[in-house]
Amino acid sequence: MMPPLGVRPDRHRSWVSPDAANAAQLLFESDLGTDDVYIFALPDMTLKGTLTGFKEPLGECSDNHGNVWIANSLKNEMLEYSRSGALLNKIARANLNPWACAVNPVNGDIAITQENRPHFQPGQVLVYSNPSSAPMILHNPAQVFYFYAAYDPRGHLWIDGTDALGHSILSRCDAASCTTIGLSGGSIIAAGTIAWDKDNGTWVVFDQYCRDAPSFCSYPVSALGVVGTPTTYLSYTGGALCDLIQVAMVSTGKRPIVVGGDNEYPCGSYKTSSVNRWTYPAGGNPLNSNLGSVFYPWGAAVSVK
- The predicted-structure confidence for 90-128, as pLDDT tens digits, reads as follows 999 999 999 999 999 999 999 999 998 877 889 999 999
Asked if 113 and 149 touch (Cβ cutoff 8 Å), the reply is yes
Residue 172 sits at the vertex; the CA angle it makes with 26 and 112, to the nearest 5 degrees, is 45
- Domain membership flag for residue 12: no
Report pLDDT for 2. 46
DSSP string over 92-125:
E-TT--EEEEEE-TTT--EEEEEEEEGGGEEEEE
- Domain membership flag for residue 4: no
Distance CA 116, CA 97 (A): 8
Q: Virtual CA dihedral for 269, 32, 17, 260, nearest 10 degrees?
A: 60
Q: Indicate if the pLDDT at residue 230 is higher than 60.
A: yes
CB atoms within 10 A of CB 23: 21
Domain that holds residue 107: 25-304
Report pLDDT for 1. 47
Contacts of residue 167, defined as CB under 8 A and 6 or more positions apart, other chains included, come to: none
- Domain membership flag for residue 17: no
What is the percentage of the chain residues whose pLDDT exceeds 90? 84
Asked if 169 and 180 touch (Cβ cutoff 8 Å), the reply is yes
End-to-end Cα separation, the chain, in angstroms: 34
- Domain membership flag for residue 10: no
- Domain membership flag for residue 15: no
- Domain membership flag for residue 101: yes
Distance CA 155, CA 139 (A): 17
In the chain, the number of structural domains is 1
- Domain membership flag for residue 85: yes
- Domain membership flag for residue 9: no
CB atoms within 10 A of CB 130: 10
Q: Identify any residues that bridge with 282 across adjacent strands, giving them in sequence order.
A: none
- Whether residue 43 is preceded by a cis peptide bond, meaning omega within 30 degrees of 0, is yes
Q: Indicate if the pLDDT at residue 156 is higher than 90.
A: yes
| CATH code for the domain in which residue 137 is found | 2.120.10.30
In this prediction, residue 56 has a pLDDT band, given cuts at 50, 70 and 90, of: very high
